[in-house]
Amino acid sequence: MVEERYAGLTGRALVEKLIEIGVVDYSRCKILAVREAVGRLMKKGMKKTDAMWTAAEQFACSYEYIRKCMYYYLDINLS
């Protein structure tokens, strides 16, 4: 159904549309993006705490929110 209805959209536009209509959870997407960003920074050799502070700056949010994304929001099956 999604493929038929939104066939002409680019990948990014399709994701935006799915979030807009409520099929994809924006909060879960942001949590995944935060985790991926921290993981990339750690792979470059940054310590986890420093990577989390850097991610907080990149996402323009608090360090506490980054901590929640990394440690508390584990029940959303992103690990």
Rounded CA separation 27/62 (Å): 15
Residue 31 lies in a domain: yes
Handedness of CA 40, 44, 47, 50 (dihedral sign): negative
Domain region containing 51: 25-79
* pLDDT > 70? residue 78: no
Q: Which of 66, 40, 64 is nearest to 52 (CA)?
A: 66
47-61 per-position pLDDT tens digit: 999 999 999 999 999
- Classify residue 15: in a domain, yes or no: no
Count of domains forming the chain: 1
11 found inside a domain? no
Does residue 6 lie within any of the structural domains?
no
Q: Does residue 67 lie in a domain region? A: yes
Span 64-69, average pLDDT: 95
**What does the angle CA 13 – CA 62 – CA 23 come to, to the nearest 5 degrees?**
30
> Looking at the domain assignment, is residue 1 inside a domain?
no
Q: Radius of gyration of the chain from Cα atoms?
A: 15
The DSSP code for 61 is S
Q: Identify whether 2 is part of a domain.
A: no
